[in-house]
Amino acid sequence: MTALTNLLDLDPAQLVEYCGELGEKPFRAKQLLRWIHQFGAHDFEAMTDLAKSLRDKLATRAMVAAPAVISDHTSTDGTRKWLLDVGQGNAVEAVFIPEENRGTLCISTQAGCAVNCRFCSTGKQGFSRNLTVGEIIGQLWMAEFELRKSKNIAPGPKGERQITNVVMMGMGEPLLNYEPTVTALKLMLDDNAYGLSRRRVTLSTSGVVPMIDKLSQDCAVALAVSLHASNDTLRDGLVPLNKKYPLRELMASCKRYLEFAPRDFVTFEYCMLDGVNDSDANARELIALVQGRSGSEAVSCKFNLIPFNPFPESGLKRSHNPRIKAFAQILMDAGIVTTVRKTRGDDIDAACGQLAGEVQDRTKVQERMQKMVEYQTKFGKNFGRIVEVFE
């Protein structure tokens, strides 16, 4: 038997091509897009304005299938987290964050993550595989219509949209799963699908410089960069990718990206780690970095300071609130827009950096962490600790 084509895997242009292969005219692709992404339809018989002959073809050759929901939890603050089955023992998470004037969905692009940032529990689970287009856009498809169903809001463009913003800040590094990520972005932006503004879709990256440049040409959306350090020495330890693409190269790529971006700034995400990256000196070093006074390009930006969500394997602690406030004030006094992210959904492990899900431990992280405990017992508590180096 021929494998069924999952129509969630196809962007608008690919759907036109697929319809052509079925002997159908291009306008059928628009009809399919609307049925699937605006009405949440997965049964071809329900697509009543399609010719019966086309519905019969689709019934034997295609499907609309998002990842199955394993669990669905709602936090006391209204944050909702779905754990989704992507097969072979892997699961990913999508998180909906409701606010007064918008609803933001945080989605995943990989099962696990290969970047292995020290402060992120997802990275400590290791990397399993890239997600397909259908598995990425399927998170939005599932969440939008689940939210509507829970509020008795009808599907279709006349029903009130529940998800107004999408952030690719869940599990994985989006730019290391480039083609499926960009295809999913094109679906989010298409008027016959979700019709989201480029300003309301944000891709977060650890700093894969060549792919930042490529994204600027292929599908420039709002850009967030996981910075987390004010110098290369510190960032090398927190974000290992920095050894390949150091800060000077990263700042230059951000500057280039802004020529094509829908916003006139890049958001720098900065996880606040007690005694590691939260000193006044770090704040002043950040100012010099983004204002181009440390040999790098000046970059129009805003900072989003993120209180760390501790997990035992990291060996790190959250900065105290007065320290976060003082750090933010130094940035603001330098004229940099700075916000402190509210912790949302941490009672259901849906907060930033907690999306570990149930992915397999491909890299034996738990075993290595146990070894670290043994070494610290033998050689002292500072063994393996990140130490800041100042000139």
Known binding residues for S-adenosyl-L-methionine are 172-173, 204, 226-228, 309
Active-site residue 93, yes or no? yes
Active-site residue 352, yes or no? yes
Strand, coil or helix: 57: helix
Give the up-direction half-sphere exposure of residue 69: CA atoms within 13 A in the CB hemisphere.
14
Choosing from 19, 219, 301, 352, the catalytic residue is 352
Helix (H) or strand (E) holding 52: helix 52-61
The Cα–Cα gap between 61 and 49 comes to 19
The Cα–Cα gap between 96 and 166 comes to 9
* Alpha-carbon separation of residue 107 from 142, 168, 222, 304, 339 (angstroms): 11, 5, 15, 19, 22
Point out the annotated binding site for [4Fe-4S] cluster. 113, 117, 120
Point out the annotated binding site. 113, 117, 120, 172-173, 204, 226-228, 309
Choosing from 93, 269, 285, 297, the catalytic residue is 93
Tokens at residue 308, please? 């760390």
**Contacts for 316 with CB less than 8 Å, ≥ 6 apart:** 118, 119, 273, 274, 276, 308, 310
Residues in the chain: 391
Burial zone of 255 (CB within 10 Å; 0-12 exposed, 13-18 middle, 19+ buried): middle
Catalytic residues: 93, 352
